[in-house]
Structure 1
Amino acid sequence: MSRSPRWALGAAVGLAAGGLLLATAGPASAHNVLVESTPQDGETLDSAPDQVELVFNEEVLEGGNGIVVTGPNGSTYEDGEVQTDTERAWIGLSPLDQAGDYTINYRIISADGHPLEDSLGFTLADEAVPSDEATDAQDPNGTTDDGSPEETDSEDPVADLAMPPWVAVVIAIAVVGIVVSILIRFMRSRGNSDA
């Protein structure tokens, strides 16, 4: 038995392992991070914002993105769908009707296909909300003027945006399959030329 087939088999295994390593480690080395937000994390605002804007260090892909703004009473205030433009993601807000702490939970899809989730917050000062006459329709107990319970969405909208982590596995399998196929053809052609 010649050394050629063993060498080719060793090379095939090495290339397949290297391809698998590159396919799974490549995306993990790139990290998208939040670099700026409006409102800023921890900021106290004298006027209510009409949107939340997040800026990242890398491109944000369209689809699968979520931004949820939760007020002091647990109500959410996002209005419309998340919009993206290169490194920016933003969403419009319904009028913020209560002073206090607001939480921004976000989940964006990075350019490498991985989701990035985090949260930040801001405070809305008393002078930023409409007067009591404008907010009399809402009771702190979660009821409306007619006494009926206020409708709330009990599901976590950010959790519904999960993207399966199988993408890297599929890429790795494809790379290994291609490498093994090429090496098998190479071994067969070497075997035919040796005969």
Structure 2
Amino acid sequence: MAFLPRHLIGAALACALILIFPASPAFAHDALKSSSPAKNAQVDSVDEIELEYSASVKFPFVVLHDAAGKEVPLGKPVLDGPKVLTDVPQPLPPGPYVIAWRVVSSDGHPIEGEIPFSVKGSPSPSASPSSIGGGPTASTPPQAAGSAAAAGERPASSAGVPGWIWGGLAVLVVLGAFVLIRTARRGPDREEVDAD
């Protein structure tokens, strides 16, 4: 019986370490593997946007902005395994563009990112190159605002350690403290009983 609290403490500490450091490659979120158009590509035209991820994703959201930050109409995103396909129904005038995307990873966490590219030709006078290039824009949708600082994939703000893990860690810490206090109180009592 004297060894039981020590085993509980060891198990609690081991669980706490696992909960604190879960970021091993096996638990990594899915990532954007490739896109068409590719990041920083210069293309003649775009009929379809294709995004391919490292695993199947859900709930795709894709928007396209021109250099002035105006949203370009797109077709509804379609899932095809790890790919998200979106039609571009109208020809794109020459100039810079940014694709903003957001999906739910296969592990249940949202991921998002931006892909800047250009359509070849002389851009219209209203185009402002400084508003493109992966930086934040005034018209960046709320769903993609968390990743405006970097092009490519980036876990969303909610993709950190889930609340249930912190809750479990708190329970383990309280349990460990309870066992330590109980062990400290019962130690002298047992010695007195043995002495009698």
Aligned partners of 1:83, 1:121: CA distance in 2, in Å?
21
SS at match of 1:126: coil
Alignment partner, residue 71 of structure 1: 66
TM-score (norm 2): 0.58
Which of 17, 22, 32 lines up with 1:26 in the alignment?
22
Alignment partner, residue 132 of structure 2: none
Residue 109 of structure 1 aligns with an amino acid whose one-letter code is: V
Residue 141 of structure 2 aligns with an amino acid whose one-letter code is: D
Shift of 1:176: 7.7
Corresponding position: 1:121 with 2:116 = yes
Contact 1:66/1:157 (<8 A) preserved? no
Residue 35 of structure 2 aligns with an amino acid whose one-letter code is: S
Which of 46, 53, 57 lines up with 1:56 in the alignment?
53
TM-score (norm 1): 0.59
Unaligned residue ranges in structure 1 (runs of 5+):
130-138, 142-152, 185-195
**What is the RMSD of the two structures over their aligned residues, measured on CA atoms?**
3.9
Shift of 1:38: 1.0
Alignment partner, residue 164 of structure 2: 170
Alignment partner, residue 141 of structure 2: 156
How many residues are paired up? 156
Summarize the Cα distance change of 1:36–1:154 in structure 2 as closer, same or farther, 3 Å threshold.
closer
Aligned partners of 1:15, 1:92: CA distance in 2, in Å?
53
Matches within 5 A, 1:136-155: 140=126, 154=139
Which of 34, 57, 74 lines up with 1:36 in the alignment?
34
Unaligned residue ranges in structure 2 (runs of 5+):
128-137, 147-155, 180-196
Which of 7, 12, 35 lines up with 1:16 in the alignment?
12
- Identity of aligned pairs, percent? 22
Alignment partner, residue 149 of structure 1: none
Residue 72 of structure 2 aligns with an amino acid whose one-letter code is: Y
Summarize the Cα distance change of 1:9–1:176 in structure 2 as closer, same or farther, 3 Å threshold.
farther
Contact 1:71/1:101 (<8 A) preserved? yes
Corresponding position: 1:90 with 2:90 = no
Shift of 1:102: 0.9
Contact 1:106/1:117 (<8 A) preserved? yes
